[in-house]
Amino acid sequence: MPDEQRTGLPYDPIDEARRQWEAHGWEDGSHGMAAVTSVMRAQQIYMARVEAVLRPLGITFARYETMMLLYFSRRGALPMGVIGSRLQVHQTSVTNAVDRLEAAELVKRTPHPSDRRATIVEITEAGRILALKATEALNTEVFAHPGLGQGDMAELIAILARLRREAGDF
């Protein structure tokens, strides 16, 4: 039973947690807790929508991001390490994602021409086609209706850009 049916009042669990925090004398962290928890929950909401759209196409968000990075790159190809640093994920996560993409023939590995330690990942024609199809699906089914007004959306992007900058993202 939704809480508003019990209390007659809409009830925001995160705001309730913030009140609990302050009731316990944790004023120094209450707003940070609410901000962090809100971001976690927003990600959960968006991720569920995105993965629901991508699942029928046989890819995950991590793999979609990898493909789009290649799609937008000048040569359609990047070294493994660059992919990891751009997406801010661990080397082994890149290896894992590229393994799966390569098995599906959406990308292919190529030796680096001058540095024989390095591996270049290149998007295939099938990869480009799927990336385009996935993007169109995401645009119409998720990104065009993000559950926020234009103003909120612009403000959200700007605030999170400041957070990402503070965290050393760019």
Partner DNA sequence: ATAAAATAGTTGGATGTCCTAATATTGGAT
Partner DNA sequence: ATCCAATATTAGGACATCCAACTATTTTAT
For residue 73, the partner it binds in DNA, its own copies, none, with Cβ less than 5 to 8 A by kind, is: none
166 belongs to the binding site for its own copies (CB under 8 A):
yes
Q: What number of other Cβ atoms are within 10 A of residue 149's Cβ?
A: 9
Residue 62 binds: one of DNA, its own copies, none (C-beta under 5 to 8 A by kind)? DNA
Interaction of residue 155 with its own copies, rule CB under 8 A: yes
Question: Which 28-47 residues touch its own copies, going by CB under 8 A?
Answer: 28-36, 38-47
3-state secondary structure of 148: coil
Strands (E) across 26-154 are located at 77-79, 107-111, 119-123
User: Binding partner of residue 80 among its own copies, DNA, none, CB under 5 to 8 Å per kind?
Assistant: DNA
Q: Which residue, 126 or 161, has its beta carbon nearer to its own copies?
A: 161
Asked if 51 touches its own copies (CB under 8 A), the answer is no
Interface residue with its own copies, options 94, 121, 130, 138 (CB under 8 A): 138
Q: Report the alpha-carbon distance of residue 160 to residue 164 in Å, rounded.
A: 6
Q: Which residues lie across from 110 on neighbouring strands?
A: 120
List of residues contacting DNA (CB under 7 A): 44, 48, 60-63, 79-82, 84, 89-100, 109, 112, 114-120
